[in-house]
Amino acid sequence: KPIFILNGPNLNLLGKRQPEIYGHDTLEDVERNCAALAGELGFEMRLFQSNFEGGIVELIHQAREEACAIIINPGAYTHTSVAILDALNTFDGPVMECHISNVHKRESFRHHSYVSLRADGVMAGFGVQGYELCVRRVCTLLGGK
Ligand code: DQA
């Protein structure tokens, strides 16, 4: 089963959106780098993005059937969405929460995460490299190379 990397609102604009905060790499770059790394570690990876809260909930439901692990950057829904937390609580495998920016260095409304109540690990402030570090972590947890 593949690792699912789920991305929330505005992350389709990664690379163009506030590059001083989120950098110049695009979501396609993230997808390519993570697929290559997952492959080296003996796993498959699929990356998705939705600007809709319910879209992310449905991707988590899909992951219940199809994924071995979830890496999720819920964007702003991190700080608001009980629905995404509830969906993640129905998933049995490893869950990593990934933020490109260091949310703790930013506005106080970004300091609280509903998703952290379920996440097995939280990445923040490592730029887009954080996604690759999450891939390494889930592969370790799943007993890969
Ligand atoms: C983010 C941080 C969130 O606070 C913000 O709303 C995002 C991106 C990050 O990757 O740093 O959209 O999750």
Q: What is the pLDDT of residues 60-92, one digit of tens each?
A: 999 999 999 999 999 999 999 999 999 999 999
**Which CATH number do you get for residue 117?**
3.40.50.9100
Look at the chain and report how many structural domains it folds into.
1
Which pLDDT score, from 0 to 100, does residue 145 have?
56
Q: Which residues of 6-22 are buried (b: 16+ CB within 10 A; e: fewer)?
A: bbbbebeebbeeeeeeb
Q: Which two tokens stand for residue 24?
A: 């110049």
Does the predicted interface ipTM exceed a cut of 0.95? yes
Domain with 134, as residue range(s), is: 3-141
Decide: 14 in ligand 1 pocket, CB within 6 A. Answer: no
Decide: 10 in ligand 1 pocket, CB within 6 A. Answer: yes
Tens digits of residue pLDDT in 11-55: 999 999 999 999 999 999 999 999 999 999 999 999 999 999 999
Give me the catalytic one of 77, 99, 114, 131: 99
Rounded distance from Cα 32 to ligand 1 centre (Å)? 21
99 is catalytic: yes
